[in-house]
């Protein structure tokens, strides 16, 4: 990103896209000139998540960017963005027309079974972009049936086969600033790409109730959450929800007692080389988590979250 939502909207500038490759010494080397034409290196203003999938079936990964636009009032929103592999060997950047939304999350799977990978969009409501197979996508709001979730404030989602029936299901998280309104939920695929049956996960009993990221692993949903009022975005916690019993346990928690994450309450050793921001008035939270070798890790050097599953 090249802009700051703390600056006036008149100073807004688009993100810059780049490719990096690890060399044999483990160093990251920029390789953008090999894969991006100069005119293709400009992305949307505020990319929030990059989803890797092959959207044009050429066996080369493509990148869908969930974009939210200027992330402060008046939240102007923007079109979603796609980097699509070309036969020339470089990527072409495409804006998805008429996709001017405040997207915070996305996930990719073939939902309608036609062989082309589709996109779940999450940002406020959740709906699909169905891949037409020619680099275009059609908005489809008919597949998630429960009207109650459509206008709620969801910000992250994944497509994963939670019940092992061979069809991906939707896991939605967010909560805005009221988890009771938009609780984390699983919406099951009926086998035809229609999502109707919903299961709601337990509401957090602490003030870490805004879900920023999640994944499903070994029969549990792992939720990365940050705090809301009055400690907005100060501190992070990870909850593990057992899908059989629906019990949850807090397996990681950073407690913000002086404006930033200095104190960690955990049985594990979650912060390695943890470096708090120098400006103690700033909020600080962990952006996202992934499972890796039976542990939960965060890519952030600052936080370096690392706890067992």
The footprint of Ca ion (CB under 5 A) covers 54, 56, 58, 60, 62, 85, 110, 112, 114, 116, 118, 161, 163, 165, 167, 169
DSSP β-bridge partners for residue 308: 295
Residue closer to Ca ion (CB basis): 9 or 160: 160
The strand pair at 306-308 and 295-297 is best described as antiparallel
Helix/strand/coil percent split, the chain, to 5? 5, 45, 55
Query: What is the distance between the alpha carbons of residues 270 and 142, in angstroms, rounded to a whole number?
Result: 42
Q: How far is the CB of 245 from Ca ion (least distance, A)?
A: 19
3-state SS, residue 54: coil
Buried b vs exposed e over 229-238: b needs ≥16 C-beta within 10 Å?
A: eebeebbbbb
Q: How far is the CB of 285 from Ca ion (least distance, A)?
A: 31
Residue closer to Ca ion (CB basis): 133 or 276: 133
Q: How far is the CB of 171 from Ca ion (least distance, A)?
A: 11
Nearest residue to 54 (alpha-carbon basis) of 119, 3, 125 = 119
Residue closer to Ca ion (CB basis): 26 or 166: 166
Q: How far is the CB of 129 from Ca ion (least distance, A)?
A: 10
Backbone angles phi, psi at 260, to 5 degrees: -155, 170
Residue closer to Ca ion (CB basis): 163 or 232: 163
Q: How far is the CB of 16 from Ca ion (least distance, A)?
A: 22
Q: Which residue is nearest to Ca ion (CB)?
A: 85
> Around Cβ 73, how many Cβ atoms within 10 Å?
8
Q: How far is the CB of 57 from Ca ion (least distance, A)?
A: 7
> Around Cβ 288, how many Cβ atoms within 10 Å?
16
Residue closer to Ca ion (CB basis): 160 or 304: 160
Residue closer to Ca ion (CB basis): 62 or 78: 62
Which helix (H) or strand (E) element contains residue 33? helix 32-35
Residue closer to Ca ion (CB basis): 191 or 308: 191
- Structure-block tokens of residue 278: 């120098």
Q: How far is the CB of 139 from Ca ion (least distance, A)?
A: 14
Query: What is the distance between the alpha carbons of residues 43 and 254, in angstroms, rounded to a whole number?
Result: 33
Which helix (H) or strand (E) element contains residue 20? strand 20-22
């Amino acid at each position: 990103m090249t802009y700051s939502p703390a600056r006036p909207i008149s100073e807004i500038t688009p993100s810059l896209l780049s490719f990096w490759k690890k060399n044999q010494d483990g160093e990251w080397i920029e390789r953008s000139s090999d894969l991006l034409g100069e005119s293709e290196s400009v992305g949307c203003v505020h990319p929030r998540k990059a989803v890797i999938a092959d959207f044009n079936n050429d066996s080369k990964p493509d990148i869908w960017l969930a974009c939210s636009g200027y992330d402060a009032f008046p939240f102007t929103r923007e079109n979603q963005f796609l980097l699509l592999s070309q036969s020339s060997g470089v990527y072409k950047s495409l804006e998805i027309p008429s996709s001017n939304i405040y997207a915070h999350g996305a996930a990719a799977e073939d939902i309608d079974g036609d062989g082309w990978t589709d996109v779940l969009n999450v940002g406020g409501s959740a709906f699909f972009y169905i891949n037409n197979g020619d680099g275009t996508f059609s908005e489809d709001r008919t597949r998630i049936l429960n009207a109650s979730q459509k206008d709620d404030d969801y910000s992250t989602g994944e497509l994963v086969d939670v019940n092992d029936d061979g069809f991906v299901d939707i896991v939605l998280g967010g909560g805005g600033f009221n988890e009771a309104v938009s609780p984390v939920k699983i919406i099951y695929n009926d086998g035809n790409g229609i999502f109707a049956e919903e299961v709601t996960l337990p509401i957090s009993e602490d003030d870490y109730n805004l879900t920023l990221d999640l994944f499903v692993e070994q029969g549990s949903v792992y939720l990365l959450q940050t705090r809301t009022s009055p400690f907005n975005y100060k501190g992070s916690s990870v909850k593990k929800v057992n899908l059989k019993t629906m019990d949850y346990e807090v397996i990681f928690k950073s407690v913000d007692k002086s404006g930033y994450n200095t104190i960690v309450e955990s049985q594990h050793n979650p912060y390695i080389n943890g470096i708090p921001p120098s400006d103690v008035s700033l909020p600080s939270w962990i952006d996202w988590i992934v499972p890796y070798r039976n542990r939960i890790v965060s890519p952030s050097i600052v936080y370096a979250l690392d706890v067992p599953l």
